[in-house]
A and B are shown apart, each in its own frame.
Chain A
């Protein structure tokens, strides 16, 4: 959920809370680096992972990341994002590990029901395979508690069993700043250093720190069709259906993921400052406006997390 305030209140609230959020995130990133043998940072090229990466640079110094970046590629990415991801990793001198859902399909560990179905849910399989392959014991992710109800319930240090499963009823209490990171072989942790950030915080921070993002986050003309209240981008993977009218509209993405289930919103916002203002007056949540795959059931995110999803 967004912490919304009236635009005129923005100046009163200021952004000194961003310092506190940044400091907490950096503290958590150092805790992961110090507590685990083989951590990795999940990096998609999206805004949340770019904010985390920016904090990681501050935590460890330029070119000194103590963990590799891991990308689980659905094969359904916007090319602008993939390009941006590779460019950032190179600039940082970071090790980038890419594992793809299509490889899992070739191995037979992922079976699609239909060829064009969203592959977000199948990322879990590929992710768990990558964890096993590299023996990762902690994966840092950019999930925020304001995104979704099940996420709001998850600890910052989230224990996963040997099957990568989250057990919401048996979460470890998180007391003070004492993080119980002990694990048995085969288990791992998911760690969410920006848990306490909201969508608005992320945008205010992007603006303040002048963090570069893939261009899709800002207003651009795009061919879309309206479907069930969402704007569906017209791409080779998501063609217009019969009877649908293709229109070109000024849109931007609030969240970026698998092409087949990520939708843009109408927006003239062309800079981080304009997105901040738009976020302040927004009436629909980030996921509500943009994700087709979360709408299937109230518990879909929880179910996927139990199955090993981020």
Chain B
């Protein structure tokens, strides 16, 4: 089974770092000297295993994503320990963009659990929404610190009801709601049958079973050209004299004989040879979504870094051949170019998104200028209502209209992840300012 990349999120002090420390210790991934380094007062401070920056230890919070590795007999895991503090939501977005699963921690002691549906914290809602927005395939709620409440059965029942109501209202699919105590290790690695009325698997057992991110493999080919190799003539393992166009298959798959066209020029060619990431020819097997491939075309066409190789436009239908109004070939392309986009943006920069300003946008491997025309709405993360807004502040999520300097083969993020995602970069500071998901 392939490694599972998961992130932990939730509010400050919900116990994310402690949970990760617990997973690492219980799966024997922590070595003696590392445990000794955080055990100066006798008992190990599990959170200190991951909070690697001095500023984090000073303040007792996690500032940036820490990536950790561990394995059980069933699976390898990569954990992104994402910060909970609102100020560092951008780092949580960074971690979520790579993840197969998001665990949102909920601190039972912070909620009024005696109510039948206690009000959830804003960060719980925000992180669940962000995970959904970024198409993280599995969302798991881990209700933590249940060892510290008077009536854990009732607390878990009520909090679970609130979580399920919230996610149902928001249209978010939930893989599981699991009761845990990260501090005591209850139901984290070892199951604790019946505890809090929960008879399901422990959190770790659940993670061993979750699927990895499905590839957008059923779509027509789209491959952003990362690197044009000009020296193929000198290389024995490629056809003489032909350039090799390297890139990761963003959607679909490619095999020798495929008809492709270059975006934006529209030039057509046939794929003569496909190389795998390590330059070995791919014959029987197609290079599928996610794989790095080297493409050799059957004729010389002008292709640069930033261009795309996409499945060739469909041939015009026979009965349309005489139709003078038939659309131009470009509109037949499975990945038509677009200059105007509606997009959801997670704003990451301290300087607010300002309509009218021009930013750099990176799509695939192409940089284009982008202007934000207007903010259509901002999402209220407490009520999920769409509010009118003039700008988006740091950590806000909203819908905007973008105008690009030149067309890009963008597609809805919900359809295809790579063609559907961009970043915006501030032209003055060069900071990464926005995560853009095409509608």
Q: Which residues, 8 to 34 on A, are CB-close (under 8 Å) to B?
A: 9, 12-13, 17, 20, 22-23, 26-27, 30-31, 33-34
Q: Please tell me which one of the listed residues B2, B73, B305, B360 contacts residue A182 in the complex, with CB atoms under 8 A apart.
A: B360
Return the CB mask of B410-424 against A: 1 if under 8 Å, else 0: 000000011001110
CA distance A23 to B387 in the complex (A): 44
A285 contacts chain B at the CB level, 8 A cutoff = yes
Q: Cβ of A27: which chain B residues have Cβ within 8 Å of it?
A: 226, 248, 277, 292
- Looking at the assembled complex, report how far the CB atom of B409 sits from the nearest CB atom of chain A, in whole angstroms: 15
Q: Are B65's CB and A153's CB within 8 A?
A: yes
Q: Are A148's CB and B94's CB within 8 A?
A: no
CA distance A65 to B330 in the complex (A): 38
B405 contacts chain A at the CB level, 8 A cutoff = no
Q: Are A26's CB and B277's CB within 8 A?
A: yes
Q: Which of A105-113, A165-173, A214-222, A263-271 contacts B (4 or more CB under 8 A)?
A: A165-173
Q: Cβ of A176: which chain B residues have Cβ within 8 Å of it?
A: 97-98, 417-418, 421
- Looking at the assembled complex, report how far the CB atom of B99 sits from the nearest CB atom of chain A, in whole angstroms: 11
Return the CB mask of B299-340 against A: 1 if under 8 Å, else 0: 000000100000000000000000000000000000000000
Q: Are B73's CB and A12's CB within 8 A?
A: yes
Instruction: Given A1-B24, A285-B33, A285-B34, check contact A178 B421 (CB 8 Å).
Output: yes
CA distance A258 to B55 in the complex (A): 29
- Looking at the assembled complex, report how far the CB atom of A302 sits from the nearest CB atom of chain B, in whole angstroms: 6
B66 contacts chain A at the CB level, 8 A cutoff = yes
CA distance A172 to B97 in the complex (A): 14
Instruction: Given A153-B53, A175-B93, A178-B421, check contact A285 B31 (CB 8 Å).
Output: yes
Q: Cβ of A3: which chain B residues have Cβ within 8 Å of it?
A: 29, 69-71, 76-77
A208 contacts chain B at the CB level, 8 A cutoff = no
Q: Which of B159-167, B229-237, B371-379 contacts A (4 or more CB under 8 A)?
A: B229-237
- Looking at the assembled complex, report how far the CB atom of A144 sits from the nearest CB atom of chain B, in whole angstroms: 10
Q: Cβ of A30: which chain B residues have Cβ within 8 Å of it?
A: 226-227, 246, 292
Q: Are A175's CB and B435's CB within 8 A?
A: yes
Return the CB mask of B277-295 against A: 1 if under 8 Å, else 0: 1110000000000011000
B432 contacts chain A at the CB level, 8 A cutoff = yes
Looking at A2, A6, A146, A177, which has the most chain B CB atoms within 10 Å of its CB? A177
Looking at A145, A180, A198, which has the most chain B CB atoms within 10 Å of its CB? A180
Return the CB mask of B390-427 against A: 1 if under 8 Å, else 0: 00000000000000000000000000011001110100
B37 contacts chain A at the CB level, 8 A cutoff = yes
Q: Cβ of A285: which chain B residues have Cβ within 8 Å of it?
A: 31, 33-34
CA distance A303 to B362 in the complex (A): 32
B192 contacts chain A at the CB level, 8 A cutoff = no
Q: Are B278's CB and A177's CB within 8 A?
A: no
B216 contacts chain A at the CB level, 8 A cutoff = no
Q: Are A64's CB and B292's CB within 8 A?
A: no
CA distance A4 to B32 in the complex (A): 12
Instruction: Given A2-B29, A3-B70, check contact A298 B57 (CB 8 Å).
Output: yes
Q: Cβ of B37: which chain A residues have Cβ within 8 Å of it?
A: 298
Q: Cβ of A303: which chain B residues have Cβ within 8 Å of it?
A: 54
Q: Cβ of B70: which chain A residues have Cβ within 8 Å of it?
A: 1, 3-4
Q: Are A183's CB and B430's CB within 8 A?
A: yes
Q: Cβ of B90: which chain A residues have Cβ within 8 Å of it?
A: 173
Q: Cβ of A171: which chain B residues have Cβ within 8 Å of it?
A: 64, 91
Q: Please tell me which one of the listed residues A58, A149, A282 contacts residue B278 in the complex, with CB atoms under 8 A apart.
A: A58
CA distance A3 to B93 in the complex (A): 25
Looking at B3, B97, B227, which has the most chain A CB atoms within 10 Å of its CB? B227
Q: Which residues, 24 to 81 on B, are CB-close (under 8 Å) to A?
A: 24, 28-34, 37, 49-55, 57, 63-73, 76-78
- Looking at the assembled complex, report how far the CB atom of A273 sits from the nearest CB atom of chain B, in whole angstroms: 19
B365 contacts chain A at the CB level, 8 A cutoff = yes
Q: Are B31's CB and A283's CB within 8 A?
A: yes
- Looking at the assembled complex, report how far the CB atom of A213 sits from the nearest CB atom of chain B, in whole angstroms: 20
- Looking at the assembled complex, report how far the CB atom of B36 sits from the nearest CB atom of chain A, in whole angstroms: 9
CA distance A17 to B69 in the complex (A): 13
- Looking at the assembled complex, report how far the CB atom of B35 sits from the nearest CB atom of chain A, in whole angstroms: 10
Give the residue name and chain of the B residue nearest to A287 (CB).
Answer: B33
- Looking at the assembled complex, report how far the CB atom of A222 sits from the nearest CB atom of chain B, in whole angstroms: 22
A5 contacts chain B at the CB level, 8 A cutoff = yes
A289 contacts chain B at the CB level, 8 A cutoff = yes
Instruction: Given A23-B291, A175-B93, A182-B360, check contact A150 B53 (CB 8 Å).
Output: yes
Seen from chain B, the residues whose Cβ lies within 8 Å of a Cβ on chain A are 2-3, 24, 28-34, 37, 49-55, 57, 63-73, 76-78, 90-91, 93-94, 97-98, 226-227, 229, 231, 234-235, 237, 246, 248, 277-279, 291-292, 305, 348, 360, 362-363, 365, 417-418, 421-423, 425, 430-432, 435
A-B contact pairs, 5 of them (CB 8 A): A3-B29, A4-B71, A174-B98, A176-B98, A178-B421
Which 7 A/B pairs are nearest by Cβ-Cβ distance? A149-B52, A288-B33, A3-B69, A299-B54, A173-B94, A58-B278, A152-B66
